[in-house]
């Protein structure tokens, strides 16, 4: 490192001590790239490191987190989504530079866009109404993320003015947008909890969605019918001798899982001192040793139950329910309003969505079910594809329940029976492998 001429030795020492040390190794492990970060223990530093990796859509297959006094050492085993190691020098350099900076958090910059935050009670056709209002008010949707969980919805929508092509600066128009969207969210039965706001924040969008869901207390809501099996197991025990609370999570492995869990622990103001993350086939096993910021473990049974509820919610919010549809087409004003109206008119409900545009092309991913939350009829999906354009709208992934049918199953067995059978077999197969007592002994 080259130092400015005015930098004295003491300043150099402080900079060296506060700057994380990053080591990337492709030789140690045959199946993954090792990323090691040694840094001073600061609030949020673990989450920041994970965020750098997940923003590159990398999988964290294993991780070891350990603190010694005021220092952290984080070791991540990462791969591309196809399971290959990271060999692209540009990506490796970006990781090293981002993790090696004392300000390595990459936020979602608004880039001259107006950011709308919406939360409230989810219902069939809600997104169709939201995007119809935005189209009517001459707002062009550039990006959006929509999550639904336990009957609640949270969304970040990045829009620009159709006339000016930039951020909406007219305060009267902003007020009108807020009022009309709030009326849509309220519907007939959500007078109190429906919220709309215009945000100038540049916080990471997915972390903000977690915060919005957490503030809405989605973890306390009564779950609605789910397509995916509730195979997320969370336990919390106190290790009195060491003053830690030990959190164990077993669930289906997926991209960004570690980020979702650590994000919620951080927002609940717990500090992770040690952690081990392992994945085996499609299962993930996560163990965290945590304390409050003041150094104390979880102190009561209600708090323990709340942690369990919140962590299960953090895993489930991004769980893929329904059929995954990908729309790639030329962007135009009112495109989303048209697509959502077609979904609604054909009895499809959107449970999650990721919307983005690059130059004049729109790339949108939707997860859809029928209006009751059950798997959408394949003939309905095909009909919608024909109306929107079969070459533009593709079926990318089917939900797990589509693959649970076997030749020996009676074709008259309902969806509920298939789900219960899956849960029972999964719990019997995996319960013994948790190792909960061993982790605290």
Residue 4 class from Cβ within 10 Å (0-12 exposed, 13-18 middle, 19+ buried)? Answer: exposed
Question: CA 288 to CA 251: how far, in whole Å?
Answer: 15
Please tell me the predicted confidence (pLDDT) of residue 6.
59
Residue 240 predicted with pLDDT over 80: yes
Residue 41 class from Cβ within 10 Å (0-12 exposed, 13-18 middle, 19+ buried)? Answer: middle
Do the domains 114-220 and 323-419 sit in the same CATH topology, yes or no?
yes
Encoded tokens for 218:
């989605």
SS3 sequence of the chain: CCCCCCCCHHHHHHHHHHCCEEEEECCCCCCCEEEEEEEECCCCHHHHHHHHHHCCCCEEEEEEEEEECCEEEEEEEEECCCCCCCCCHHHHHHHHHHHCCCCCCCCCCCCCCEEEEEEEECCCCHHHHHHHHHHHCCEEEEEEEEEEECCEEEEEEEEEECCCCCCCCCHHHHHHHHHHHHHHHHCCCCCCCCEEEEECCCCCHHHHHHHHHHHCCHHHCCCCCCCCCCCCEEEEEEECCCCEEEEEEEEECCCCHHHHHHHHHHHCCEEEEEEEEEEECCEEEEEEEEEECCCCCCCCHHHHHHHHHHHHHHHHCCCCCCEEEEEEEECCCCHHHHHHHHHHHCCEEEEEEEEEEECCEEEEEEEEEECCCCCCCHHHHHHHHHHHCCCCEEEEECCHHHHCCCCCCCCCCCHHHHHHHHHHHHHHHHHHHCCCCHHHC
β-sheet bridge partners, residue 34: 25, 77
Residues 284-335: pLDDT tens digits? 999 999 999 999 999 999 999 999 999 999 999 988 778 999 999 999 989 9
Domain ranges of the chain: 6-106, 114-220, 323-419
CATH of domain 114-220: 3.30.70.260
Neighbouring C-alpha atoms within 13 Å toward the C-beta of 272: 31
Residues 364-386: pLDDT tens digits? 999 999 998 888 999 999 999 99
CATH of domain 6-106: 3.30.70.260
Please tell me the predicted confidence (pLDDT) of residue 85.
97
Q: Tell me the pLDDT of the chain averaged across its residues.
A: 84
Q: Which fold has domain 323-419?
A: Alpha-Beta Plaits (3.30.70)
Residue 127 class from Cβ within 10 Å (0-12 exposed, 13-18 middle, 19+ buried)? Answer: buried
Residue 40 predicted with pLDDT over 50: yes
Report the candidate in 149, 163, 160, 172 with the shortest Cα–Cα distance to residue 116: 160
β-sheet bridge partners, residue 120: 153
% pLDDT > 70, the chain: 80
Residues 144-202: pLDDT tens digits? 999 999 999 999 999 998 888 788 888 899 999 999 999 999 876 776 678 898 876 66
Question: CA 194 to CA 187: how far, in whole Å?
Answer: 9
Residue 247 predicted with pLDDT over 90: yes
Residues 6+ apart with CB under 8 A from 253: 279, 281, 282, 283, 284
pLDDT tier at 110, thresholds 50, 70, 90: low
Residue 410 predicted with pLDDT over 70: no
Give the residue with greater pLDDT, 193 vs 262: 262
């Amino acid at each position: 490192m080259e130092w400015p001429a005015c930098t004295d030795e003491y300043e150099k020492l402080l900079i060296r001590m506060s700057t994380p040390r990053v080591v990337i190794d492709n030789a140690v492990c045959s199946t993954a790239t090792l990323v090691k970060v040694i840094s001073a223990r600061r609030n949020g530093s673990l989450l920041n490191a994970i965020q750098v990796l997940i923003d590159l859509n990398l999988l964290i297959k294993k991780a070891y987190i350990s603190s010694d006094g005021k220092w952290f050492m984080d070791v991540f085993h990462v791969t591309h989504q196809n399971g290959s190691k990271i060999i692209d020098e540009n990506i490796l350099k970006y990781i090293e530079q981002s993790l090696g900076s004392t300000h390595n958090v990459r936020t979602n910059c608004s880039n001259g866009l107006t950011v709308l935050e919406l939360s409230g009670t989810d219902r069939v056709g809600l997104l169709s109404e939201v995007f119809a209002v935005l189209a009517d008010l001459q707002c062009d949707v550039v990006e959006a993320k929509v999550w639904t969980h336990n009957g609640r919805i949270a969304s970040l929508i990045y829009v620009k003015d159709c006339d000016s092509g930039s951020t909406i600066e007219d305060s009267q128009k902003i007020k009108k947008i807020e009022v009309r969207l709030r009326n849509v969210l309220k519907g007939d039965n959500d007078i109190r909890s429906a919220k709309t706001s215009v945000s100038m924040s540049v916080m990471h969008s997915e972390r903000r969605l977690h915060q919005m869901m957490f503030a809405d207390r989605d973890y306390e809501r009564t779950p609605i019918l789910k397509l995916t099996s509730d195979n997320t197991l969370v336990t919390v025990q106190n290790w009195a001798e060491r003053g830690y609370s030990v959190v164990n999570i077993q669930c289906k492995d997926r991209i960004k899982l570690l980020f979702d869990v650590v994000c919620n622990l951080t927002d609940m103001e717990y500090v992770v001192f040690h952690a081990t993350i392992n994945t085996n086939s499609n299962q993930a096993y996560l163990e965290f040793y945590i304390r409050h910021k003041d150094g104390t473990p979880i102190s009561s049974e209600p708090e323990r139950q709340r942690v369990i509820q919140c962590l299960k919610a953090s895993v489930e919010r991004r769980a893929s329910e329904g059929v995954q549809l990908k729309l790639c087409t030329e962007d135009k004003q009112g495109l989303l309003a048209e697509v959502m109206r077609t979904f609604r008119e054909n009895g499809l409900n959107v449970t999650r969505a990721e919307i983005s545009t690059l130059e004049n092309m729109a790339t949108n991913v939707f997860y859809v079910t029928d209006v009751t939350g059950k798997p959408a009829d394949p003939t309905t999906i095909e009909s919608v594809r024909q109306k929107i354009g079969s070459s533009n709208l593709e079926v990318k992934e089917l939900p797990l329940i589509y693959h649970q049918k076997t030749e020996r199953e009676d074709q008259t067995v309902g969806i509920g029976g298939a789900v219960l059978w899956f849960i029972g077999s999964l719990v019997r197969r995996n319960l013994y492998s948790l190792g909960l007592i061993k982790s605290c002994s």
